[in-house]
Chains A and B, each alone.
Chain A
Amino acid sequence: MAQVRVTVDGVNYADDVEPRTLLVHYLREQLGKTGTLVGCDTSNCGACTVHLNGQSVKSCSVLAVQADGAEVTTIEGVARDGKLHPVQEAFNEFHALQCGYCTPGMIMQAIDLLGDNPDPDEHEVREGIEGNLCRCTGYQNIVRAVQGAAQAMKPGATADRGAPAPVAGGGN
């Protein structure tokens, strides 16, 4: 067993894990963070995307022990004070989900993308979420939602929503 000390969605944890434990399994099975999903066995689908020290990663392709000392943000940690993150709001508003399985990973990758590029054009959104697959092929509305979120997150764009919830490390 190896020890992992990690901050997940603002809470500190210290746990013993087998070195072979994947970060996604640690999050889901030891911490109960089942908002982060497993969609494939090939590192392609991106459903398990979380932020590790502020950068999006596929948590099926990271060992839990590699996250020792790190800060992890999952889909469960992006809403603040009962308010959804603007990207979550936009996915709702633009009907950017059908079955919803890809949604947690899509949202985490979209937040990462908008941290890097606050005003992406359609092509840049599609490139930015290249690592996330929607099995319903609902990409049209996902792209619209990411661009809608970009507008909503512009400084001064929305008086009533308040500032976008920060994520670990502030994106990139």
Chain B
Amino acid sequence: MIPSKFDYVKPASVADAITALQQGGDDAKILAGGQSLIPVLRLRLAAPSVIIDLGGIAELRGIREDGDHIVIGAMTPYHDIIRDDLVKQHVALLAQATATVADNQVRHRGTLGGSLAHADPAGDLGAVALALEAELVIAGASGSRTVTAKDFFVDYFTTALGEGEILTEIRFPKYTGWGSHYEKFNRTAQAWSMCAVAVAVKVDGGTISEARVGLTNMGTTPIRAAGVEAALVGQSASADAIRAAAEHATEGTAAPSDADAAADYREHLAKVLTGRAVLAAAG
């Protein structure tokens, strides 16, 4: 279908975008890479009065090092993140998970900030941001504020972004030297994750000293598998110990039942995939 009519503005700065957002009122919608929004517009699941395209704001693109963080502009496309040397070295989990999103064409256009702000619980990068304790920088008329990934994801397609606010950058602590793995389960090419597990572990002399585990599509938001993390720390990186820890993967989850999978099947997947992901990360 053809989208409903809307007005289009393409601001050249974050300040101009915030002004446009305020003027646009309730019906204004931000366009990042458009790989979720444009299909939604085409299906007429949304009919905003004005679209504010962030594609002309150079300051929102790019990846830089800032002390012990890697900072990624919200409009940085997946394609750039996957190939970036800083990301590969310090936030390898993000590079690997991003490479599993959709397909090549979508990865040329889709952006990290767009994905996180869209907050689809089946999206792959929320679990990564949550597990890696990313911070999200949000700009509004009164300045900028930083929220943790834990506080950013509020509910199904709902974030801490307020009216008139824009996600500008995502700050990842460096996980240099950690092992990591994103284990994704879906049935066909391009399909969303029925369930996926994001893992980063620090292994010292065969013992897991720190662990970060995030789950995709196991609730209305990405979920931090704190029970698995606690069970892993101090354990040897052996298959038996990891499988035992993975049994905690469903704690705190509220798996959906839909056409792809029933909740109990997703719960089974979460445990199996957590085991695989931790084994791969610690290997």
B142 to chain A: which residues have CB within 8 Å? none
User: What's the Cα separation between A109 and B104 when bound, in Å?
Assistant: 8
Check B2–A130 contact: CB distance below 8 A.
Answer: no
In the complex with contacts A109-B104, A130-B189, A131-B103, A61-B5 CB distance below 8 A = no
CB contact between A55 and one of B3, B5, B6, B79 (< 8 Å): that residue? B79
Q: How far is the CA of A146 from the CA of B98 in the complex (A)?
A: 25
Main secondary structure of the interface of A (DSSP, over half): mixed
A51 to B38, CA, bound (A): 18
Taken together as a complex, chains A and B put the C-alpha atoms of A63 and B39 apart, in Å, by 11
Interface string of B29-40 (1 = CB under 8 A from A): 001001100110
Name the interface residues of B105-145: CB closer than 8 Å to any CB of A: 105-106, 108-109
A128 to B189 alpha-carbon distance, docked (Å): 11
B43 on interface, CB distance cutoff 8 Å: yes
Chain A hits for B31, CB < 8 A: 63, 66
A22 within 8 A of B: yes
Partner of B7, one of A19, A25, A49, A60: A19
A30 interfacial by beta-carbon distance below 8 Å? no
CB contact between B108 and one of A20, A55, A130 (< 8 Å): that residue:
A55
**Interface range on chain B (Cβ under 8 Å from partner):** 20 to 34
Contacts of B34 in A (CB 8 A): 61-63, 66
Question: Separation in Å of the A146 CB from the closest CB of chain B?
Answer: 13
Give a binary string over A58-72; 1 marks a CB under 8 Å from any B CB, 0 the rest.
101111011010000
Residue interface bits A24-53, CB-to-B below 8 A is 1, else 0: 010000000000000001111010010010
A-B contact pairs, 25 of them (CB 8 A): A18-B5, A19-B7, A20-B2, A20-B3, A20-B4, A20-B6, A22-B42, A44-B190, A52-B108, A55-B79, A55-B108, A58-B106, A61-B38, A61-B39, A61-B105, A61-B106, A62-B34, A62-B38, A63-B8, A63-B34, A65-B10, A113-B104, A130-B104, A131-B104, A131-B190
Interface size class on chain A is 20 to 34
Residue A75 is within 8 A (CB to CB) of chain B in the complex: no
**Neighbouring A residues of B41 by C-beta, 8 Å:** 20
A49 to B105, Cβ gap below 8 A? yes
When the two chains form their complex, are residues A131 and B1 in contact, meaning their CB atoms are under 8 A apart? Answer: no
Please, what's the 1-or-0 string for A122-148, where 1 marks a CB less than 8 Å from any CB in chain B?
Answer: 000000101111000000000000000
Query: In the bound complex, what is the Cα–Cα distance between A50 and B2 (angstroms)?
Result: 19
A112 CA to B109 CA in the complex, in Å? 14
Verify A20–B39 contact, CB threshold 8 A: no
Complex contacts, A61 vs chain B, CB 8 Å? 34-35, 38-39, 105-106, 109
- Nearest residue in B to A55 (C-beta to C-beta)? B108
